[in-house]
Amino acid sequence: MASRKRKKMEENICDNDIQTDISRILLEDCDLDITILLRIRNYLENSKDKELEVQAVKLKIEQGFIIRLLCQYDAMESVKDRAIFDILCLLERSYQISLRPFFPMVWGKRAKDNYEKLRQLGQLLHTKLTADQVLDYLNPKLVWNTLLKSEQTTSIKIPEKDSSNELYDARFILRLLATLLDNHAKINSRKFIDVNGLSLAFAATSFISRNERCVAYLVLRRFLLHLTELDTDSFPEKCLYIYLLQIFKNSIEKPIQRLPHVVAHFFARVTKLILHPEDPVYQPVLSFLLLKPNIDVQNVPEIYKLLLSSSIEHYNKERHWCLRLILDSLIEPNDYNILQKRFLAFRYGIKLLLSLFGSIIADQETRKYILLSFRAILQHRSLANDLYVRQNLHSWIVLTLQNSKMTSWERVFLCQLFITLITHIRDIYSGNVNSDSMETNWRKTIVYKTCEMLGNKVCNELEKENDDAKSTWLLQLRQLLCKDSWMPSIESYDVQN
């Protein structure tokens, strides 16, 4: 009996706390506290399967509460915005509190006047914002950065990921775009493309979450239907976008398929490219799309034609466009495999980049993109091992450093790549400390001796630099080459032999 009473008292206290938190949010002069938002979210999550508490929450939630959340919402990936998004989703899905009266949904302080009119006039008298007015809330640059670096792109934590305040929450933006295209809504198609809405939908087909991919495919389908309607606004590139969406549709092999990042980003970039026929890349890319009714979604589109461009005037721009696509798409280990798969018979994808870097046709911009691509690859330890074992990247770096035509920035960057690569190799080969196998210890010793020999050459190159990079990376490399930091078993193996 005592335990039942205690449990009931705790539930009453919890209900009172939630009621207090909701009241605090309704106060106009009170800033939203992240702690309160997280507490409400956790309460809603834990109570969604309890019928009595669901009914109690329905009575507590007022229109002003949702308006307050939306006015404080910035649609970013910050902790506060994610908590608000989760609360709204829980209220709609688990507590059957309809958010349709607030459609089309806008957010931030800018939306306060709109929701104040909704509260004063009611749903029948309130004049809703048009789809084009809602699109004005979106920053095209932020949308583009979101499709490149959103946390939805991969489950792997990216160390150099941009601040959450610089990226939209792709979950919210995708659902917003889907609602704007709902029920034959009047929307300016060109404006939808200009704010990168279509590009985001294409890129989201590579997202890790099946739910987000489902919404992305819904946006693409609705936009295709919108373009094919007779009363849709007309613009010069309309037929090309219909054709692009049809090609994409024909290329999908199974429902809600997760595409490789490079393919999804290719379509996202082509979406922007179609609006700029003056771009030198326009002709080769559009020619490629016109060849077949679909494309192979497991290969890098047109990598040969663009990297090894035969254009007399625009070969550099075509090469840069392709390299930038590859760079932005190297997010997961599978993207590396896709790059290699393009050359299935010989797996020459990486070797092509290595040979291109040292060739006379590579300008400084080309070399920069290649170096940045290798840095993206080396974020993954398994890929670093492949670059060491199969591609011999460590030897290539040392050989390239001897090229007198390399700029100081390129030389230092190559040294950074070498340090990152050897750090991964050390962690891999020193991980199996307990192994007493003669062959295993022999391999460890060979790897260390190789890295030590090449590392000394890299140290000599760093000695020639006179900037801050010398003091930063030279010390780190010397510590890395120290035998004690590598493998404790090397000394014992040397003594035995």
Tens of pLDDT, residues 331-379: 999 999 888 875 443 457 888 899 999 898 899 999 999 999 999 999 9
Amino acid at 222: R
Examine the pLDDT at 14 and tell me if it is beyond 60.
no
The predicted pLDDT at position 92 comes to: 93
CB 371 within 8 A of CB 385: no
Mean pLDDT of the chain: 86
212 assigned to some structural domain? no
Over residues 37-52, the mean pLDDT reads 90
* The two three-digit tokens of residue 142, written as one number: 């932020």
Amino acid at 73: Y
215 assigned to some structural domain? no
9 pLDDT band, cuts 50/70/90, is very low
The predicted pLDDT at position 164 comes to: 55
The predicted pLDDT at position 165 comes to: 65
Range of the domain at 49: 15-129
Examine the pLDDT at 153 and tell me if it is beyond 90.
no
451 assigned to some structural domain? yes
- Residue ending a domain, choose from 109, 129, 149: 129
Compute the C-alpha angle 416/419/421, nearest 5°. Answer: 110
247 pLDDT band, cuts 50/70/90, is very high
249 assigned to some structural domain? no
Q: 21-30, 42-51, 237-246, 358-367: lowest mean pLDDT where?
A: 21-30
The CA-to-CA distance between both ends of the chain, in Å, stands at 75
If you average pLDDT over each of 3-17, 244-258, 292-306, 338-352, which comes out highest? 244-258
Over residues 11-34, the mean pLDDT reads 69
28 pLDDT band, cuts 50/70/90, is low
CB 398 within 8 A of CB 454: yes
371 assigned to some structural domain? no
Q: What is the pLDDT of residues 158-186, one digit of tens each?
A: 655 545 568 999 999 999 999 999 877 78
Percent of the chain with pLDDT over 70: 89
9 assigned to some structural domain? no
Examine the pLDDT at 136 and tell me if it is beyond 60.
yes
CB 173 within 8 A of CB 200: yes
104 assigned to some structural domain? yes
8 pLDDT band, cuts 50/70/90, is very low
Q: 111-125, 272-286, 437-451: lowest mean pLDDT where?
A: 437-451
The domain total for the chain is 2
- Residue ending a domain, choose from 114, 129, 144: 129
The predicted pLDDT at position 143 comes to: 97
The predicted pLDDT at position 154 comes to: 81
Compute the C-alpha angle 254/256/259, nearest 5°. Answer: 80
Percent of the chain with pLDDT over 90: 56
379 assigned to some structural domain? no
Q: Say if residue 172 is exposed, middle or buried (CB neighbours under 10 Å; 0-12, 13-18, 19+).
A: buried
Q: Tell me the residue ranges of DSSP E strands in 364-494.
A: none
- Residue ending a domain, choose from 93, 112, 129: 129
The predicted pLDDT at position 492 comes to: 47
